[in-house]
Structure 1
Amino acid sequence: MTADTSFRLRVAVIGAGPSGLAQLRAFAAARKEGAEIPEIVCFERQSDLGGQWNYSWRHGTDEYGESVHSSMYRHLWSNGPKETLELADYTFDEHFGRPISSYPPREVLWDYISGRIERDGLREWIRFSTIVRRVDHDAATRTFTVVSEYLPTGEQTTEVFDRVVVATGHFSVPNVPYFEGIETFPGQVTHAHDFRGAEHMEGRTVLVVGGSSSAEDIALQAFKFGAARVLISHRRDPLGYGWPDRIEECAVAERFEGRTVHLADGTSVEVDEVVLCTGYRHSFPFLPAHLALHTKNKLWQDHLYKGVVFEHCTDLFYLGMQDQWFTFNMFDAMGWFVRDVILGRFELPPLEEMRADMAAWKAKFEAIDSVPAKGWFQAAHFKDVLAATDYPPFDVDAGVRTFLEWKQDKKEDILTYRDVCYTSHLTGTTATPHHTPWIDELDDSMENYLRLHGPVAAVEPAAGWAFGFLRSLLVLLLPVPAPPLERYP
């Protein structure tokens, strides 16, 4: 993009995943309304946009010797209803022109989030294959010096920006714990970050270490592609689903002795392969320590006013750093808010007032006492950010109710919950069932998904519509109530 010197400010957005793209779209929306916006430069280390959703067959390091960003794998389908992540200013109906199922595969979701950027011609704001090496801040001048490198040539560029938005995600740097004796294990040990598919697991005994969504889905992938036995080893409470034969939960692994894994309950198992679903670390190697966010994956991040404005440097913003129930649309609201702060539409309160607000939210976060309360907490935060912006209306409470239904669907049948159809809170469109039950679908390509999908599908679409309508009616008649308002700021 050619710099326009008439702009007073220059804004660097680091990352062109869902959060970074939300920030670009927020500025584009203001421009469309006639506002004068800053010069926007988005740095993206990958060769295309999408962040996690930009699948690569590579793992470990890429063609330039840099660590691979995406943890995406073949045959990943959304593990939550698309109706909860739909963008209020760009619906699935607008993008696809017809109903689709509630749980699309990765390529379809990548196409969706890319569509809005293509529609608005925002690729020109993104420098692809460009990694940010260093960001320094000059408090006296309120400017940032950003050093970036164009990876294909190694050419480095040093530039000055007035504001910086960090949108690099936090599911790219794996947390890899040590287990006594694991170096004696003769099979393959992989972290979920490097997992690319389960086709090779047919007939094998697989140990999945972890107790969250990655462990759940990779265990199902192994089952789907014919693993003889899948063991899910966890430290905390069991996932507790009605697992099919060949999947079982077990105590935490304590030590390895060759192929033998000794568990905390005194039992042992023989396994062929280990997948570590042990989480990720927030990492900002391009930032000095005093500007970097030091945290773990949780619903409320300290030092971020409204969840985005960095307490110690209010010209620095972080998007999407929380543990997430809501994703794409919450990132949008955050991006809209950051835009309004930068444009002067929202005046930040004095530091002490911001700290009091952050302390109140932290107290509410620490008082969470149940899984539903986690969803309602993030909904309250989401609405708090929405209230400070002009982002198009989104029914956040309905989103939480859908999430809670989704959790119930999984408890009822972990193999079929992706076949359930939901209704969009934005358009009223009810999803149509995919032509093949998820457990039997081995082709996750967009071509296969769309070619036979929707009203022309081999299944009877009316049945899917009717089921979705009944679910929606039940939600209206038997809503899941939100906690009392005083529970949240």
Structure 2
Amino acid sequence: MMPIANPRVCIIGAGLAGLTTGKNLQDEGIDFTILEATSNFGGTWRYEPRVGFYENGLPVFTSMYKHLRTNLPKPTMELKGFPIPSNIPSFPTWDVYYDYIRKYVQHFQIEKHIKFQHYVIKVSRINNVWRVKHKYLPTGEEMEDEFDFVIVGTGHFNKPNRPVMKGEEFFKGNIIHSHDYREPEPYRNKRVLTVGAGPSGLDITMDVATVAKTIFHSHHSPQNFKTKFPPNYVKKPDIKEYNETGVTFVDGSYEDIDDVIYCTGYLFNFSFLDESAGLNVSSKTVTPLHKFMVNINEPSLIIIGLIEKACLAIALEAQARYTAALVKGKFSLPSKEDMMKEWQRRADLCIARGRTFSNLHFLAEGEDDYYEELSKESGIERVPPVMFKIRNTDAEAKIENLYTYRNYVYEVIDKNTFVRRLENETNSVS
């Protein structure tokens, strides 16, 4: 891919992926346009009390709920070049972190590049350029622009993975996906079933437990959580079927249930990419991607944030720096053949570790190696190994006690070392 002197760059989405990419392109002196479907930046970090659809027919993309606090400590949430203030708590609430994002946008003057309420309909590769068709929602006017690079930053937390279970149509209670969960109050004194033990499943279960009569938690996580849950918490296995008033589980037990919240994750949604983009998109994978982001078949299409099991904010920012260096022409990608070989190696490793292709985008234990790879190939500054170490220590703290892991403060000493202490304590421990 030959460098382009003054590339036309389109970023889709003004969430954290799009904003950090824009900032890094700006650092390289590259102009860009961000097309954002909503009227605000910040993506999933912006709380929206409404669920379903807006008046203009646009779906509510954000899954933010009222009582969310970050589940990673603030050193792993900090964006390069913009320190998080020292007075911000170790695990900030969503509104505190969103204010940090707002100030980031203001400081780097990113908003002037954003076209709000421009909903991307279709991205096509025609005659060696990208044609991006988008609609201005207030008027319904459709327009099409040409770009040399398209950078997708829409994330993967907006299309709910909503299972449909046997007998669900007979159930007279209310069933929602965690995408539409906002606050616990509607569940006061009710018998509530939550399904799933990922980060949101655990968080929402504990949130609802503060008001529910009983919280039944259905999951099959192999994780050995040591948390002592409250007396109204009841662990249950997977659902077998519903009837009018409750649920039978696979162990044969039955419980009367008033409300159900499926915390069952999200599906990838890149419906605006047509076949000319040269990618295979399924509900949980996008292939083939070099370094989890560069489209091997059409390398001027890059997807930021298509990773899981990582310090997401830092990983996004590293990908954004890599992307800006690529667009600037600071380095050359390997040959298509070599990129495909590397992609196949990653796919084989995923299977060798006993995982399915739905785990293909997991960084997990390979997160720090990934940062080394990005730096080695592109020349960008490496994410320091201390960040991966913090994430591992935080993960252990979660297993020990989901109610207390946010009581720790993490302080980075150098690129390899940190100290951890309890809030309001001065004695530090490694």
TM-score in terms of structure 2 length: 0.91
Number of the residue aligned with 1:45: 37
Quick one: structure 1 residues 366 and 383, their matched pair in 2 at CA, closer, same or farther if it must change by over 3 Å? farther
Asked if the contact 2:214–2:233 (Cα under 8 Å) also holds between the matched residues in 1, the reply is yes
Number of the residue aligned with 2:25: 27
Aligned-partner Cα distance in 1 for 2:65–2:365: 30
Asked if the contact 2:16–2:43 (Cα under 8 Å) also holds between the matched residues in 1, the reply is yes
Number of the residue aligned with 1:126: 114
Q: Match of 2:180, as an amino acid?
A: D
Aligned-partner Cα distance in 2 for 1:233–1:289: 39
Aligned-partner Cα distance in 1 for 2:9–2:131: 11
Number of the residue aligned with 2:295: 310
Number of the residue aligned with 2:364: 375
Is 1:184 matched with 2:173? no
* Match of residue 95, structure 2, among 103, 107, 122: 107
Aligned-partner Cα distance in 1 for 2:11–2:413: 30
* Match of residue 48, structure 2, among 31, 47, 56: 56
Aligned-partner Cα distance in 2 for 1:306–1:393: 15
* Match of residue 8, structure 1, among 6, 9, 12: 6
Within 5 Å, give how 1:195-234 maps onto structure 2.
195-224=181-210, 226-234=211-219
Aligned-partner Cα distance in 1 for 2:401–2:221: 22
Is 1:267 matched with 2:253? yes
Is 1:328 matched with 2:313? yes
1:338 shift after superposition: 1.4
Point out where structure 1 has 5 or more consecutive residues left out of the alignment: 1-5, 32-36, 434-460, 475-489
Asked if the contact 1:101–1:432 (Cα under 8 Å) also holds between the matched residues in 2, the reply is no
Superposed CA deviations along residues 279-318 of structure 1, whole A, max 9, x for unmatched, are 11101121114535524557xx641112111122111111
* Match of residue 405, structure 2, among 412, 417, 420: 417
Superposed CA deviations along residues 52-87 of structure 1, whole A, max 9, x for unmatched, are 001111111112111111011111111121222222
Within 5 Å, give how 1:60-459 maps onto structure 2.
60-92=52-84, 96=85, 98-138=86-126, 141-224=127-210, 226-237=211-222, 240-242=225-227, 243-291=229-277, 292-297=279-284, 302-368=287-353, 375-395=364-384, 397-424=385-412
Aligned-partner Cα distance in 1 for 2:232–2:239: 19
Number of the residue aligned with 1:34: none
1:329 shift after superposition: 1.5
1:410 shift after superposition: 1.9
Q: Match of 2:367, as an amino acid?
A: Q
Higher strand proportion (structure 1 or 2): 2
Q: Match of 1:274, as an amino acid?
A: V
Aligned-partner Cα distance in 2 for 1:375–1:58: 33
Quick one: structure 1 residues 100 and 234, their matched pair in 2 at CA, closer, same or farther if it must change by over 3 Å? same
The count of corresponding residues between Structure 1 and Structure 2 is 419
Structure 1 segments of 4+ aligned residues over 6 angstroms from their partners: 426-433
Superposed CA deviations along residues 217-237 of structure 1, whole A, max 9, x for unmatched, are 11011023x212111112443
Asked if the contact 2:165–2:242 (Cα under 8 Å) also holds between the matched residues in 1, the reply is yes
Aligned-partner Cα distance in 2 for 1:26–1:295: 29
Asked if the contact 2:270–2:281 (Cα under 8 Å) also holds between the matched residues in 1, the reply is no
Aligned-partner Cα distance in 2 for 1:99–1:390: 33
Q: Match of 2:196, as an amino acid?
A: G
Quick one: structure 1 residues 386 and 90, their matched pair in 2 at CA, closer, same or farther if it must change by over 3 Å? farther
1:430 shift after superposition: 7.8
Q: CA RMSD in A?
A: 2.5
Point out where structure 2 has 5 or more consecutive residues left out of the alignment: none
| Fraction of identical pairs, as percent | 26
Asked if the contact 1:308–1:338 (Cα under 8 Å) also holds between the matched residues in 2, the reply is no
Asked if the contact 1:142–1:315 (Cα under 8 Å) also holds between the matched residues in 2, the reply is no
**SS class of match (2:412):** coil
Quick one: structure 1 residues 405 and 166, their matched pair in 2 at CA, closer, same or farther if it must change by over 3 Å? same
